[in-house]
Structure 1
Amino acid sequence: MLLERVKRLAVVLEPPCAESPPSPSPSCPAGGGSFAPGERVCGRVELEASGAARLSALEVSAHGCAKVHWSESRSAGSSTAYTQSYGDRVDFLALRLVLLAPPAEDGGEALVLQAGRHEFPFSFQLPETLATSFEGKHGSVRYWVKAKLRRPWAMVRKAKTEFTVITPIDINTPALLAPQAGTKEKLVRAWYCNRGQVSVSAKIDRKGYTPGEVIPIFAEIDNCTTCSVVPRAAVIQTQTFVARGIKKQKKAVVASIVGESIAAGRREVWHGRALKIPPLGPSILQCRIIQVEYALKICIDIPRTSKLLLELPLVIGTIPLHRFGSRTSSVSSQYSVNVDWLRLGLLEQPEAPPDYSLVISSEETVEHLSPPRLDDPTRVPEGPFFAFIQEFRFRPPPLYSEVDPNPSPENGIRPRCMTC
């Protein structure tokens, strides 16, 4: 039968031409490859027929959109309840290409495709502005390529392949290299009694990081209360979904560390406490209905009262920090500099300066070294001090020597003239 003559229909995408394309993160769907906005996506539609098959058209289309959806229970009284749904959609990509169609002079009749395997290549250009692929609880950002095979007197056969788009975020920018710091304090009370104050000051060297990097945390915690407190630090991911002006947020702890307990009246100092960033999806800040943000949160657990929280913003990027592209890669690197690359341009033995006779001719040397003639009115300088300056102006430099001509005594004290 006609339906059985097309055995296989598939869409295959070629990998991008970049040398090291970004790999999908846990929050990005895995698909036919990872692409950046503005790149060209190339692929082919593979069709395998067991016999001669009649076709009306073969077309391929590329799509990309962001969708959000969630439901909330509402109560209108003691006995009345209903569910309110929220949803929205933003389209980023919509392209359509016709790969196979009957010629117009044939009157639009179906084509006959011989038995065997056939490939139909295609390519399309991605727009410059796209949101990063994302999969969340209340929304997603997805991209896919779909092929449709139309046949006379038969259902349309479809094949679909998803691919990942990762918008590059370069952390080598002044805004993302700026240090982040903050201070917070809390007055602890219990049963209307003042139990003291807890304060925390924290700093990180920059705002932008990439997965796999370590955040050195510099913090100072003062516990001026009568009880022990426990400091913590964590990287928080906040997913924000927007629909019809209503926001829905979902927060998750993606990495955390716990410090030692701080006794009453004591102070704890973190000298670059390391917090490693796990594999994460990059920040999404340009999408209207879905945003993914990160923050470093310093938390002080205080018994029998609320916590003291200090939050510093973070941006998870895709392009790591350049070794020499910025002034520092961490706070600790501000105090230690790798000078191996500087030694490449330095010689092991210092080179002696050139001889003075090579710089200036012998005639000029005699002329410049000869004292001014006082009988010549044109050679007499004006002013009481200019004569002394003119005398020492063109004298040759001292001879180069690696041995100090005036060595210091062994005891390090120079002899002084008693008559002075």
Structure 2
Amino acid sequence: MSSSTNEISIILDNPSGIYAPGSLLTGSVIVILSKPKKSRRITIHAYGHAKTNFTKTHYHDSKNEQYHYSCKKSYLDHCIPVWKPSNGIEKEELQPGQHSFRFSIGIPWNCLPNFEGRFGHIRYNIKAEMHLSWSFNLTTEKRFAVMSIMEPTIYNQPVKGFISQTNTFSSTKLVKAEITLPKRIYACGEEITVAIVIDNHSGTSIESIETGIQSEACYAGETSFSVCSKRKTEHECFHSFCKTESVHIPDGGRDLYRRTFTISKQLPTISDCPIIIVKHFVYVKINKKGIFSSTVMQTIPIILTTASLEPLQLPPKLAITIPPSAPRRDFVEKEEAIVNSIVGISLSSSIHNISSSNSNHHLNPSTSSSSNFRPSSVPNDFALMETYGAPPAYNEIDTILSPTSNPPPNPSAPPEYDETFVQKF
């Protein structure tokens, strides 16, 4: 480093840069000065938003014209000073050398997971700025990621889908199938077992079965032009973990097909964002023999999360017994104090979830009715666990774009931003 260089940098306590909703974003702002500098303040700003951007063609004035659509929704916008002049003065001189300033910012529970699509994204950044007098401010910026979490109290029952297709030329000839999944919600690293019971009375044999995950993304945008609709949507669809296997089920036959595969890397479900919706389905295609035989297809919706929380394991003598009725406040505070002194984890959210697990709880892992930060049942160093890695990069996702989708972006093109913790289609 040159003796005349001034620098500012951000060092996160969590080197992976991956955080759970409700956890704390902590770290230090490091300022290195080569000579005294007068500053008004040093701030740290954490912000994140969902944003869409696409164009649509409309016929207007006897010609086709393109109109731009976009939308933006903020999920995190928190700016705090990490240093300011003492005694209420306007500015103060910082001496040469290295200075370190600590910060701590709560990530709201309603923050959605990171997402990178063709027509939109969800990103989170943290920016440090030293405000100088009669000079350009010193600034630095770093990206971090937020994951979606599946709570351990969510109970999943097996889900089923049914196929029934009648032959075009005869109502008595049909194919029936029953598709069973062990549950509806899955986290990265989990296995999905697809079981299909097939009754073939179609008049021809079944020769192959294709299975996989079909993902759909919907982007909403608005425009200021009055000649066209104020709000439009754009769609994107792709398939992953696709596999076609040859089978032979003759006419009148009945058979069971089963496939198990691991969700190694996949984009999480996003369902409570007004401008970006991401849905996933397990799909099954049954291919019959014959020139005029159509393909039978069925999809079952599933929910994918970045990670799942394991139930907290306590020593036998300190195991908590939740009474059937709503827990008393003094009981909750006493048990929380005991557990916090041992493992440093707040159980307020977990106890609330357990006491209400018998109600019709929604299965959306990222939904929250409040944007305010609240104490978390997730430990602050949750993202340091080796079980959960960074979200997949663009070239790491096992995807096959559908023929109707737009061509993929050029991988050799220079990126518009740092892709260290970014998911892409």
Name the TM tier (shorter chain): 0.5 to 0.7
Aligned residue-pair number: 300
Instruction: Give 1:32 shift.
Output: 5.4
Residues 72 and 135 (structure 1), Cα distance of their counterparts in 2 relative to 1, 3 Å cut: same
CA distance in structure 2 between the partners assigned to 1:243 and 1:171 by the alignment: 35
Which residue of structure 2 lines up, in the alignment, with residue 56 of structure 1? Answer: 40
Does the 8 A contact of 1:150 with 1:156 survive in 2?
Answer: yes
Q: What secondary structure sits across from 1:262 in the alignment? A: strand
Which residue of structure 1 lines up, in the alignment, with residue 196 of structure 2? Answer: 219
Instruction: Give 1:105 shift.
Output: 5.4
Residues 271 and 231 (structure 1), Cα distance of their counterparts in 2 relative to 1, 3 Å cut: closer
1:72 aligns with 2:49: no
Residues 35 and 105 (structure 1), Cα distance of their counterparts in 2 relative to 1, 3 Å cut: closer
TM-score, normalization by structure 1: 0.64
Match of 1:283 among 245, 259, 269: 269
CA distance in structure 2 between the partners assigned to 1:117 and 1:194 by the alignment: 82
Which residue of structure 2 lines up, in the alignment, with residue 142 of structure 1? Answer: 123
Residues 105 and 310 (structure 1), Cα distance of their counterparts in 2 relative to 1, 3 Å cut: closer
Which residue of structure 2 lines up, in the alignment, with residue 405 of structure 1? Answer: none
Larger radius of gyration: 1
Does the 8 A contact of 2:204 with 2:250 survive in 1?
Answer: yes
Instruction: Give 1:154 shift.
Output: 1.5
Instruction: Give 1:304 shift.
Output: 4.2
Does the 8 A contact of 1:183 with 1:200 survive in 2?
Answer: yes
Residues 203 and 320 (structure 1), Cα distance of their counterparts in 2 relative to 1, 3 Å cut: farther
Does the 8 A contact of 1:171 with 1:209 survive in 2?
Answer: no
1:230 aligns with 2:197: no
Q: What secondary structure sits across from 1:239 in the alignment? A: strand
1:319 aligns with 2:322: no
Does the 8 A contact of 2:213 with 2:242 survive in 1?
Answer: yes
Match of 1:128 among 106, 109, 119: 109
CA distance in structure 2 between the partners assigned to 1:56 and 1:157 by the alignment: 12
Does the 8 A contact of 2:23 with 2:106 survive in 1?
Answer: yes
Which residue of structure 2 lines up, in the alignment, with residue 273 of structure 1? Answer: 259
Does the 8 A contact of 2:55 with 2:69 survive in 1?
Answer: yes
More moved, 54-63 vs 194-203: 194-203
CA distance in structure 2 between the partners assigned to 1:305 and 1:84 by the alignment: 43
Unaligned runs of 5+ in 2: 223-230, 314-425
1:248 aligns with 2:234: yes
Match of 2:286 among 300, 322, 333: 300
Instruction: Give 1:268 shift.
Output: 5.3
1:14 aligns with 2:13: yes
Instruction: Give 1:251 shift.
Output: 1.7
More moved, 253-262 vs 159-168: 253-262
Q: Mapping of 1:353-372 within 5 angstroms?
A: none
Which residue of structure 1 lines up, in the alignment, with residue 94 of structure 2? Answer: 113
Does the 8 A contact of 2:160 with 2:180 survive in 1?
Answer: yes
Amino acid at match of 1:70: F
CA distance in structure 2 between the partners assigned to 1:226 and 1:122 by the alignment: 69
1:104-128: per-residue Cα shift (whole Å, max 9, x none)?
554x2x4222222111111122222
CA distance in structure 1 between the partners assigned to 2:195 and 2:9 by the alignment: 54
CA distance in structure 2 between the partners assigned to 1:53 and 1:33 by the alignment: 31
Consecutive aligned runs of 4 or more in structure 1 exceeding 6 Å deviation: 192-195, 320-324
1:2-23: per-residue Cα shift (whole Å, max 9, x none)?
x9844321111111xxxxxxxx
Which residue of structure 2 lines up, in the alignment, with residue 387 of structure 1? Answer: none
Does the 8 A contact of 1:65 with 1:90 survive in 2?
Answer: yes
Give percent identity, aligned residues only: 19
Instruction: Give 1:301 shift.
Output: 2.8
TM-score, normalization by structure 2: 0.63
Residues 251 and 320 (structure 1), Cα distance of their counterparts in 2 relative to 1, 3 Å cut: farther
Which residue of structure 1 lines up, in the alignment, with residue 135 of structure 2? Answer: 154
Does the 8 A contact of 1:195 with 1:226 survive in 2?
Answer: no
Instruction: Give 1:243 shift.
Output: 2.8
CA distance in structure 2 between the partners assigned to 1:171 and 1:136 by the alignment: 29
CA distance in structure 2 between the partners assigned to 1:81 and 1:147 by the alignment: 45
Q: What secondary structure sits across from 1:56 in the alignment? A: strand
Which residue of structure 2 lines up, in the alignment, with residue 182 of structure 1? Answer: 161
CA distance in structure 2 between the partners assigned to 1:37 and 1:320 by the alignment: 12
Instruction: Give 1:235 shift.
Output: 1.2
Q: What secondary structure sits across from 2:246 in the alignment? A: coil
Instruction: Give 1:100 shift.
Output: 2.6
Amino acid at match of 1:212: G
Does the 8 A contact of 1:182 with 1:201 survive in 2?
Answer: yes
Amino acid at match of 1:300: I
1:348-398: per-residue Cα shift (whole Å, max 9, x none)?
xxxxxxxxxxxxxxxxxxxxxxxxxxxxxxxxxxxxxxxxxxxxxxxxxxx
Which residue of structure 1 lines up, in the alignment, with residue 405 of structure 2? Answer: none
Which residue of structure 2 lines up, in the alignment, with residue 401 of structure 1? Answer: none
Does the 8 A contact of 1:184 with 1:308 survive in 2?
Answer: yes
1:132-182: per-residue Cα shift (whole Å, max 9, x none)?
1212111111111111122122122311111111231236523xx121112
Does the 8 A contact of 2:271 with 2:277 survive in 1?
Answer: yes
Amino acid at match of 1:242: A
Instruction: Give 1:310 shift.
Output: 0.9
Amino acid at match of 1:238: E
CA distance in structure 1 between the partners assigned to 2:180 and 2:312 by the alignment: 22
Does the 8 A contact of 1:67 with 1:88 survive in 2?
Answer: yes
1:33 aligns with 2:17: yes
